[in-house]
Structure 1
Amino acid sequence: MDAVSTPLPASHSPSTPQRRQAGARLTLTLASLAMIGPFTIDTIFPAFTRIGAEFGGDEVALQQLISAYLAAFAVMSIFHGPLSDALGRKTVMIGGLVIYLIGMFGCVLAPNLESLILLRVLQGMSAGAATIVSRVVIRDMFSGSEAQRLMARVMMIFSVAPAIAPILGGWLLLLGDWRWVFAGVGMYGVVVLILTTRLPETLPPEERSPMRIRSLLASLVHVGRSPMMLRIAGASAFGFAAQFVFIAGASPLVVRLLGLGEQDFWVLFVPLIIGMISGAWLVGRAANLMDRSRLISLGFIGAVLAALVNLGLVSLAPEYGGGLSWSLLLAVVGPGLIAFAVALVFAPIQLEVLDLFPHQRGAAASLGTFFGLVLNALLAGAVAPLVTTNLTVLALCSLSFAALGGALWVWHVRAVRRSMGV
């Protein structure tokens, strides 16, 4: 994959003062905001069995606790960014967190599975205000290599969440029924809300767009009509799906395919976190050494190769019989390698999206996230139950997503080269 830099508009930076370096408190706060998503999704996996037993829900019905959240997140993600362009970043993040906490603590009192799914919808509608807008804050405050380094550091800390969330969920179940899981995540949300109130506002009033429905929709249409935006967002969505398919199918994968228990989700998630942290660390180190577009290309090449390795490993593994064994190791090494390669793509490609529309970063962040969220919702609600029939089918699905993401990125790079006459 040849790499070229994406050209930016002539006026490419708002007048918000740029800082030279991010401090530890800012980094931890932004990472905590980003971790809302994985904590909300992954912590409840160990509780699926008990929720199903109490409410009489089967595996497909329980998967809707994930897909309903992701679908609502996807729909509302279109609006969080433009709202932050009009109202300011901090106002939207705090408002979203308050609504999110109402939904989370409401789950503790849910009388049936239907109401639990509706409260998950409320969480999904509000959680993006924190996670999506926090990425825009990074680009508001920093540019160039420092923006990539901070995005990579946030990614490194964020990577811990998918691994510790199901472990935390299993521990919370030791205290009582599944309601303890939602209460525990709610307490985390309270801490994040307090940290967010201490963030600076990064979009001055004079740089905000008018708070009118027509203006908000116009900015979304302007961003959404860009072929560059569509190609990059599609590449990002499919590339991340190569890893997320293992997370979306974690419950049937760990419990049914690997024959493990409620406290054993670490077997899958620890390799994933090691891969994600290692890849994010390398992205930060490469900030001043490699062109951003070239790094993304290498990440997609690595994702396809890692998915091929994963397919080979699970094909060679003997029939799995439960417990710690050689076949279990072969089943989880591949997802870790895929996570490493996807991490090389994630932070740089987010900055590519934000730099396409520097005066409409909120709208760009929203639409850039929307494609990935729609795909993730489909993965959790429809695809994961179908592809977790055995490890080989799951591996083929991951490989397909990696190849699709890489193909869209190649298309984008070649289109840019043609537009530049190269």
Structure 2
Amino acid sequence: MSSSPPVPHRALLAGLLAALAMLGPFCIDAIFPAFPEIERRFGAGPVVMQQTISVYLFAYAALSLFVGAMSDAWGRRTVILGGLVVFLAGTIGCALAPSMHALLVFRSLQGASAGIGMIVGRAIVRDCFAGPSAQKLMAQISLIFGLAPALAPVVGAWLVAWDGSPLATPPDWLVGWHALFWALALFTLALIGLCLAVLPETHARERRVAFLPRTLFSNYRGIVSDRQFAALALVLTFNSAGFFVYIANAPALVLGILRLDQNQFPWLFVPAISGLMLGALLTGRLAGRVPVRTLVGAGYAVMLGASLLNLVIAFAVQPARVPWTVLPVAIGAIGVNLVAPALNLLVLDRFPQYRGGASSVQAFLMLTFSALLAGVLGPLVAHSALSLAITSSAFYLIGLIGWRWYRRVAKRIPEKIDGDAAVIAAAGTSAD
């Protein structure tokens, strides 16, 4: 770096970047308690309701290919502010949607812009800090960000149940499921104001590169044709899917299989997110101390052990109930985040000259499969705890097969995770 850009206080920057990153997962999970009311309002069935997640994720995945390159060309602050304005428009559109089709259109607009804070926020950290400073800031962001998926359904349930107090006779378009989107709109407005006030431009004009789609896709073609990248992308995608199959089908699991109410989504989300955070914490402590093969092997031992426990409980506990049905989900999440940071590092180091591009392509593949899982496969397997357990176990097993494939095609696997890995370990893997 030729010079260090001006930045706000570290704690303020960590809070702001974490809040920006929280938009994506919060917007997925907060809507779950509103499913029954939206179903009644528009006469939509469970399969149609799942599309509110899948269209969001498809749009999220598509834009993830371009966001990093756009911020390299036009500046971090500009892209973040533009994304927040688009997200605000999509959120207001959801609140006022007159039909299910309109709701899905505006959900896709939300998804297209929700990931900008996370993707560009990481670039801001790397613009401003290096080494231990960057590691510490990423850890602070990860800690705050990790709370979003656990808090989202709790906040969503409270907003859906809000009766408009202290307003005397609130209009229908303000309360119920509408209140969820109005609250998100207010939060987005606050973020826009905060970014205008304190977020500097951290990517100097002299360091910017032109946004050239032809060059971008030429690089991407080289990335996806690489066998080692393909193996690692398979591993990361299916490891994540083994966990995400429960998150994507949270309404069916919580409201249908477990027969809880809209205020009891924390029975799933709190253990699941706690598992992810514990896995990220363990990886951060072990990074640089434990060989990569050992770390990944331990992660798969946890995932496959959780899968076996999941199958046993699904057979033995009838009908499904808490905490037994959600316990293996939390344990599996620990294994997912034991494995993910090391594998993300291998992806980035596979293409040192195109690290951002490699990360974008890998994220695109993972998010696209997550969208298919939420909108197509999920409704087919979310009819019982056993079918979910079998599907999750199969995904973890495919991930292990992908890891074995990678070990065969790779010429060398680093023994240790280097200094930069601690930054990735601190970021971990989110629920979405």
TM-score, structure 2 as length reference: 0.84
Residue of structure 1 equivalent to 2:356: 362
Report the equivalent of 1:117: 104
Q: What does residue 26 of structure 2 align with?
A: 39
Whole-Å Cα distance in 1 between the matches of residues 18 and 292 of structure 2?
21
Deviation (angstroms), 1:40 = 0.8
Contact 1:133-1:365 at 8 Å conserved across structures: no
Residue 35 of structure 1 aligns to a residue whose secondary structure is helix
Structure 1 residues 86 and 224, CA gap change in structure 2 (3 angstroms):
farther
What per-residue deviation string (whole Å, max 9, x for no partner) do you get for residues 285-321 of structure 1?
Answer: 223433456534432332222222222222221324x
Q: Which residue is equivalent to 1:63?
A: 50
2:368 corresponds to which letter in structure 1?
V
More contact order relative to length (CA 8 Å, sep ≥ 6): 1
Per the alignment, residue 372 of structure 2 pairs with: 378
SS at match of 1:329: coil
Q: What SS does the aligned partner of 2:411 have?
A: helix
Question: Among residues 382, 393, 400, which one is paired with 2:387 in the alignment?
Answer: 393
**Alpha-carbon deviation of 1:18?**
11
- Structure 2 Cα separation of the partners of residues 398 and 249 of structure 1: 12
SS in 2 for 1:211: coil
Q: Aligned residue for 1:187?
A: 186
Contact 1:133 1:362 in 2 (8 A): no
CA distance in 2: counterparts of 1:87 and 1:310, whole angstroms: 48
Contact kept, 8 Å, 1:73 with 1:128, in 2: the verdict is yes
> In the alignment, which residue of structure 2 is the partner of 1:242?
242
Query: Which amino acid in 1 is paired with 2:54?
Result: S
8 Å Cα contact 1:242/1:398 also seen in 2: yes
Give how far 1:130 is off.
1.9
Partner of 1:4: none
TM-superposed CA distance for 1:229, in Å, is 2.7
The correspondence of residues 14-413 of structure 1 with structure 2, limited to 5 A, is 23-142=10-129, 150-175=137-162, 176-197=175-196, 198-291=198-291, 294-320=294-320, 327-413=321-407
CA distance in 1, matches of 2:100, 2:112: 19
Provide the C-alpha distance between the structure 2 equivalents of 1:143 and 1:411, rounded to a whole number of angstroms: 33
Does structure 2 conserve the Cα–Cα contact (< 8 Å) formed by 1:43 and 1:168?
Answer: yes
Question: Which AA in structure 1 matches 2:176?
Answer: D
Unaligned stretches of 5+ residues in structure 1: 1-13, 321-326
In 1, Cα distance between the equivalents of 2:64 and 2:156?
26
**Alpha-carbon distance change, 152 to 349 in structure 1, aligned in 2, over 3 angstroms:** farther
Instruction: Tell me, in whole angstroms, the C-alpha distance in 1 between the residues paired with 2:132 and 2:301.
Output: 23
Structure 1 375/69 Cα, relative in aligned 2: closer, same or farther at 3 Å? same
Deviates more, 1:279-288 or 1:133-142: 133-142
Between the aligned partners of 1:342 and 1:192, the Cα distance in structure 2 is 31
Q: What letter matches 2:310 in structure 1?
A: N
Over residues 339-395 of structure 1, what are the superposed CA-to-partner deviations in whole Å (9 max), with x where a residue is unaligned? 122122334433443344444343223212101101110111011111111101101
The alpha carbon displacement at 1:401 in A equals: 1.2
**Distance of aligned partners of 1:384 and 1:400 in 2 relative to their CA distance in 1, 3 Å threshold:** same
Measure the CA separation in 1 of the matches of 2:251 and 2:180: 15
> Could you tell me how far 1:67 is from its partner in structure 2?
0.6
Whether the aligned pair in 1 keeps the contact of 2:83 and 2:113 (CA below 8 Å) is yes
Aligned length in residues: 399
In structure 1, distance between residues paired with 2:355 and 2:179: 38
CA RMSD of aligned residues (A): 2.7
Q: Is the Cα–Cα contact under 8 Å of residues 93 and 129 in structure 1 kept in the other structure?
A: yes
Please say if residues 69 and 211 of structure 2, whose CA atoms lie closer than 8 Å, have aligned partners that are also in contact. no
The structure-2 alpha-carbon separation of the partners of 1:258 and 1:123, relative to structure 1 and needing over 3 Å to count, comes to same
Are the equivalent residues in 2 in contact too, given 1:16–1:202 (CA < 8 A)?
A: no
The 10-residue stretch of structure 1 (40-49 or 198-207) with the greater mean CA deviation from structure 2: 198-207
For residue 219 of structure 1, give the secondary structure of its aligned residue in structure 2.
helix
CA distance in 2, matches of 1:345, 1:192: 33
Q: CA deviation at 1:71?
A: 1.0
Deviation at 1:120, TM superposition (A): 0.6
TM-score, with normalisation over the residues of structure 1? 0.86
How far residue 154 of structure 1 moved from its aligned partner, in angstroms, is 3.3
Secondary structure in structure 1 of the residue aligned to 2:319: coil
CA distance in 1, matches of 2:202, 2:231: 28
Aligned to 1:10: none
Q: What is residue 415 of structure 1 aligned with on the other side? A: 409
- C-alpha displacement of 1:78: 1.4
- Deviation sequence 1:73-129 (CA, Å, 0-9, x none): 112211112222322333222221211111011111111110000001111112222
Cα separation, 1, equivalents of 2:127 and 2:339:
21
In the aligned structure 2, how far is the partner of 1:141 from the partner of 1:232? 29
% identical aligned pairs? 39
Gaps of 5+ in 2: 163-174, 415-432
Asked whether the equivalents of residues 33 and 262 of structure 2 are also in contact (C-alpha less than 8 Å), the reply is: yes
